[in-house]
């Protein structure tokens, strides 16, 4: 029996406006309000991989090995990337800090509106998972040596 246990802190993300807010003709680098780079934290990662193997000596030169492996044993939903495009030049409502905080959930539920002169509300997909790591997987193998 062997295992690999992976525990990782949350990845940082930069909050982008999604358009050219400062009129410098470079829309992909404009950040929300006065926020610095990497001020939004994604989700933490935790995964347990387990391997069970056993060999059977059949004859002097014949050997059979059986292997069972599982990846992400507890089937935890591990978020890789979150949507970090806010769609407003300044924060509407509270400032968002990390994945699933109160401000991010309020945006996703449509409970936040922006002041006049900009978009009516922030991106409802803001702070939602964009990509995920693999769910639980099983792998079985048999190896015959002669």
Mean pLDDT for the chain?
93
CA distances from 68 to 28, 46, 71, 135, 144 (A): 46, 21, 10, 17, 15
Contact present, 87 and 119 (Cβ < 8 Å): yes
- Give domain limits for the chain: 2-145
Task: For 32-79, write each residue's pLDDT tens digit.
Answer: 988 999 999 999 999 999 999 999 999 999 999 999 999 999 999 999
| pLDDT attached to residue 29 | 87
pLDDT exceeding 70 applies to what percent of the chain?
100
């Amino acid at each position: 029996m062997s295992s690999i246990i992976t525990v990782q802190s949350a990845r940082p993300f930069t909050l982008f406006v999604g358009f050219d807010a400062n009129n410098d003709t470079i829309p992909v680098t404009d950040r929300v309000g006065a926020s610095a780079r990497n001020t939004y934290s994604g989700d933490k990662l935790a995964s347990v991989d387990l391997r069970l193997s056993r060999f059977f000596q059949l004859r002097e030169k014949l050997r059979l090995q059986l292997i069972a492996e599982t990846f992400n044993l507890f089937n935890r939903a591990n978020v890789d990337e979150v949507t970090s495009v806010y769609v407003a030049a300044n924060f509407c409502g509270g400032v968002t800090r990390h994945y699933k905080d109160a401000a991010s959930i309020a945006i996703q539920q449509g409970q936040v509106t922006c002041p006049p002169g900009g978009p009516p509300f922030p991106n409802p997909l803001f702070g939602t998972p964009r990509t995920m790591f693999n769910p639980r997987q099983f792998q079985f193998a048999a190896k015959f040596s002669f």
